[in-house]
Chain A
Amino acid sequence: MSTLAARAERAAAVAARHADAVDREGRFPEEAVAALKAERLLGLQIPSQFGGEGAGLTQIAELCSTLGHACSAAAMVFAMHHIKVSSLVTHALDSAWHCRLMERIAREQLLVASSTTEAGIGGDLRNSLCAVETTGEVFALGKDASVISYGAQADLILATARRNPDAATSDQVLVALLADQISLARTGEWDTLGMRGTCSEGFRLEARDVPVEQILPKPFAEIAAQSMLASSHLLWSSVWYGIASYAVDRARAFVQAEARRRPGQVPPTALRLAEVSNAHQAMRGTIVTALRRFEDAHGDADTIGSLGFCVMLNNLKVTVSDMAVDIVRRALSIVGLAGYKNDTPFSLGRPLRDVLSAPLMIGNDRILANTAKLLLVQKSSGQLMSA
Chain B
Amino acid sequence: MNITQAIRDILGSNEAFAGKADQLSEDDSLFDMGLDSFGSVQLMLALEERFSVEFPDALLNRKSFATIRAIRDAVSTLVRQEAA
Residues of A within 8 A of B (CB): 126, 167-168, 170-172, 219, 221-222, 225, 301-303, 305-308, 310, 370, 373-374, 376-380, 382
Q: Is the CB of B60 within 8 A of A377?
A: yes
CB pair B36–A170 under 8 Å, yes or no, is: yes
A385 and B2 alpha carbons, distance in the complex (Å): 41
List chain B residues, Cβ under 8 A from A221. Answer: 31-32, 34-36
Among listed B5-13, B37-45, B73-81, interface-contacting one: B37-45
On whether A374 and B34 interact (CB within 8 A), knowing A302-B63, A379-B54, A379-B56, the answer reads no
* Beyond known contacts A170-B15, A302-B61: 17 more, CB 8 A cutoff: A126-B37, A167-B34, A168-B34, A170-B16, A171-B33, A172-B34, A221-B32, A221-B36, A222-B32, A306-B60, A306-B62, A307-B41, A310-B37, A373-B37, A377-B44, A377-B55, A379-B60
Query: Is there an interface contact between B34 and A170, defined as CB atoms closer than 8 Å?
Result: yes
Q: A302-B61, A376-B45, A379-B54 are in contact. Are A307 and B34 (CB under 8 A)?
A: no
14 contacts between A and B (CB under 8 A): A171-B34, A172-B34, A219-B31, A222-B32, A301-B62, A305-B61, A307-B41, A307-B61, A374-B37, A376-B45, A377-B44, A377-B60, A378-B57, A380-B57
Interface of B is mostly: loop
Q: Are B33 and A225 in contact (CB under 8 A)?
A: no
On whether the beta carbons of B44 and A225 are closer than 8 Å, the reply is no
Among all A-B residue pairs, the 10 with the closest Cβ atoms: A171-B34, A306-B61, A307-B60, A305-B62, A168-B16, A168-B34, A170-B34, A302-B61, A377-B44, A219-B32
A308 pairs with B60, CB closer than 8 A:
yes
The answer to whether B54 touches A373, judged by C-beta atoms less than 8 angstroms apart, is: no
List residues of chain A with CB within 8 A of the CB of B48.
377
Residue of A nearest to B15 (CB): A168
CA of A149 to CA of B29, assembled, Å? 33
A171 to B38, CA, bound (A): 14
User: Could you say which residues of chain A place their CB within 8 Å of the CB of B37?
Assistant: 126, 225, 307, 310, 370, 373-374
Measured CB to CB, the closest approach of chain B to A384, in angstroms, equals: 16
Chain B residues near A171 (CB-CB < 8 A): 16, 33-34
| Chain B 14-32 residues near chain A, CB threshold 8 A | 15-16, 29, 31-32
Q: Which residue of A lies closest to B63 (CB)?
A: A302
